[in-house]
Structures are given as structure tokens and as C-alpha cells.
């Protein structure tokens, strides 16, 4: 299992986290709504499609995850689309609904390997 970090800080200078995209089977990115990492698979059964761009990534289809938070008696869901390096949150998302923001860098402490 290799994970490609998309839109990482790229300042470590070691390149150790720069798995070759063709070899990666998962993508990792920072979600500012959840303040957590989301991971999607890009190989195997029903993979997401990725444009192969680490800096201006597009993945399809949308990503929907369920947080631990509760909302109206149900687990709140984070529902977003990542297109051209921008995160767009659907209106059914529990936070940042309807907002579009630039995909943030991963927090520095999470980039090191």
C-alpha cells in the first residue's frame, strides 16, 4: 500500500513521501471542515479517478465521509468535491456547506515520513 499525499508542503526536501503516482493506490488530503485527513483509493474496486496532478488535483466522484459528530441524531457527513485544487462542499455537508476553498497544505507535522 502506497499513499500519495496530494498538495503536500513539498518543503521537506527529502522526497521520501513522493511515491511515484503510478505506484500509489491511495490519495491523502487535508479537509479543513473536518480538520482531518481524508483518504481515497485510486486502484482496485470502484476507485476514484485522479488527474495525476499533486498540486492541482482533481478527483471524481465526490468524497463523502462520516465524522464522529452527531447532527440531528445521525452521524454528520462531510461531502465534498475536489476539482482543480479546490474543495467544494455540498450543501448537505455538516460544515462549510456551500463553500469552495483552495485545498490547503497538510499541516507540517503530518507530512514528515
Q: Which residues bind Zn ion (CB under 5 A)?
A: 31, 33-34, 78
User: Considering beta carbons, is residue 18 or 67 the nearer one to Zn ion?
Assistant: 67
User: Considering beta carbons, is residue 24 or 33 the nearer one to Zn ion?
Assistant: 33
φ, ψ dihedrals at 18, nearest 5°: -90, 70
Shortest gap between Cβ of 35 and Zn ion (angstroms)?
8
Q: Is the peptide bond before 108 cis (omega within 30 degrees of 0)?
A: no
User: Considering beta carbons, is residue 34 or 40 the nearer one to Zn ion?
Assistant: 34
Shortest gap between Cβ of 15 and Zn ion (angstroms)?
28
Query: Distance of alpha carbon 45 from its chain centroid, rounded?
Result: 19
Shortest gap between Cβ of 113 and Zn ion (angstroms)?
22
φ, ψ dihedrals at 109, nearest 5°: -65, -15
Q: For 27-47, give the DSSP string.
A: EEEEETTTTEEEEEE-SSSSP
Handedness of CA 81, 83, 86, 88 (dihedral sign): negative
Shortest gap between Cβ of 64 and Zn ion (angstroms)?
9
User: Considering beta carbons, is residue 4 or 65 the nearer one to Zn ion?
Assistant: 65
Amino acid at each position: 500500500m502506497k499513499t500519495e499525499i496530494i498538495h503536500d508542503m513539498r518543503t521537506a526536501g527529502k522526497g521520501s513521501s513522493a511515491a511515484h503516482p503510478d505506484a500509489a493506490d491511495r490519495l491523502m488530503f487535508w479537509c479543513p471542515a473536518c480538520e482531518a485527513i481524508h483518504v481515497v483509493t485510486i486502484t482496485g474496486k470502484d476507485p476514484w479517478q485522479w488527474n495525476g496532478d499533486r498540486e492541482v488535483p482533481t478527483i471524481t466522484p465526490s468524497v463523502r465521509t462520516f465524522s464522529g459528530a452527531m447532527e440531528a441524531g445521525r452521524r454528520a457527513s462531510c461531502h465534498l468535491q475536489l476539482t482543480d485544487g479546490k474543495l467544494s462542499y455540498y450543501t448537505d455537508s455538516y460544515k462549510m456547506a456551500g463553500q469552495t476553498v483552495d485545498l490547503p497544505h497538510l499541516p507540517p507535522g503530518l507530512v514528515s515520513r
